[in-house]
Copies of this chain bind each other. A is one copy, B any other.
Amino acid sequence: MSLLTIGTVAFDTIETPFGKAEKIIGGSASYISTSASYFVDYSNIVAVVGEDFPAEALGRLRDRNVDLQGLQIKTGEKSFFWAGKYHIDMNSRDTLDTQLNVLASFDPILPDAYQNSEFLMLGNLSPDVQLKVIKRLQKRPKLIVLDTMNYWMDNNMDDLEKVMAKIDVLSINDEEARQLSGEFSLTKAARKILQMGPNYLIIKKGEHGALLFNEKEAFFAPALPLEDVFDPTGAGDTFAGGFIGYLAQTDDISFANMKRAVIYGSAMASFCVEKFGLDRMWELKKSEVNDRVQQFIDLVQFEIKLD
């Protein structure tokens, strides 16, 4: 059940039609490990921050039982920073600023205690760093999930292909699936992508839900119709955290259980977008998660008896 997440721990400045949040805690590893913390008793992360990163912020992760042995703190350097502004439809955004800082030279160090991790979540990050983590694990994990984005397809496709050849589940959005496969139809895209390495593909469609494919089967989970989407930042990472967190908790990587994991991931993501950054995610109650999953069940449940 041991879960290891690699990704970014960073500062985000986010502007949405509802307001602005300056230099709040973000990064793929922060969202993933926080989301997963509602399923696993503890988890490990490998990431890097600068000395500007506030101890209070790290305390928040520790409070969610995230082990920070694998988090490097670089003296004299600054943390990764991203600033973005969402358009009115919340489905598109402009990146206003990206400062790699510590990420530029990130060399992931795996504490001994993290060897033998059974579940590995490769959060969005440079594919060459993701590759190093896979290589530095002496034993292949039971399940490796990769989340990536179009930026790496544009700029680092060689390394990304190498990572894809070594993973089990790939999680990307619909536009990325189209870019990666050169196919507009998501069914055709899925078939092509499953030949690039992963045995399972998750295509995230934002407010339109998520698809899970393996070679033979497809599963669709809707997104919950929400009153307001306040801030979509981190929704995909939160989904991934719920997905792998649920799989690690149940220690079952069958397709039937992955379908459940997609529902749990979707439920977690539906919380994430309700407030800025991780604000909604720090203090969820288990009963809230269960209620939300029940809403998903109610939303799609129907009974048809075919002759």
Chain A interface (Cβ < 8 Å from any Cβ of B): 88-89, 184-188, 190, 205, 208-209, 211, 217-222, 225-229, 256, 259-260, 263, 290, 293-294, 297-300, 302-304, 306-307
Contact = CB atoms under 8 A, between A and B. Distances in A.
A304 B218 CA distance: 18
Nearest to A219: B299
Contacts of A217: 298
Contacts of A227: 185, 187-188
A185 B228 contact: yes
A302 B187 contact: no
Copy count, this protein chain = 2
Nearest to A88: B184
Contacts of A259: 302
Given A89-B184, A293-B306, A225 B208 contact: no
A257 to B, nearest CB: 9
13 contacts: A185-B226, A185-B229, A186-B225, A218-B298, A219-B300, A219-B302, A220-B222, A221-B302, A290-B306, A290-B307, A293-B304, A294-B306, A297-B304
B222 A222 contact: yes
A263 B218 contact: no
A226 B218 CA distance: 11
A111 to B, nearest CB: 34
A227 B211 CA distance: 14
A125 to B, nearest CB: 29
Contacts of A218: 225, 298-299
Contacts of A304: 260, 263, 293, 297
B184 A263 contact: no
Contacts of A187: 225-227
A304 to B, nearest CB: 5
Contacts of A186: 225
Contacts of A302: 219, 221, 256, 259-260, 263
B260 A303 contact: yes
Nearest to A262: B302
B256 A303 contact: yes
A210 to B, nearest CB: 11
Given A211-B225, A220-B299, A222-B222, 14 more contacts: A185-B225, A185-B227, A185-B229, A186-B225, A188-B227, A205-B208, A218-B299, A220-B222, A221-B300, A256-B302, A259-B302, A260-B302, A260-B303, A293-B306
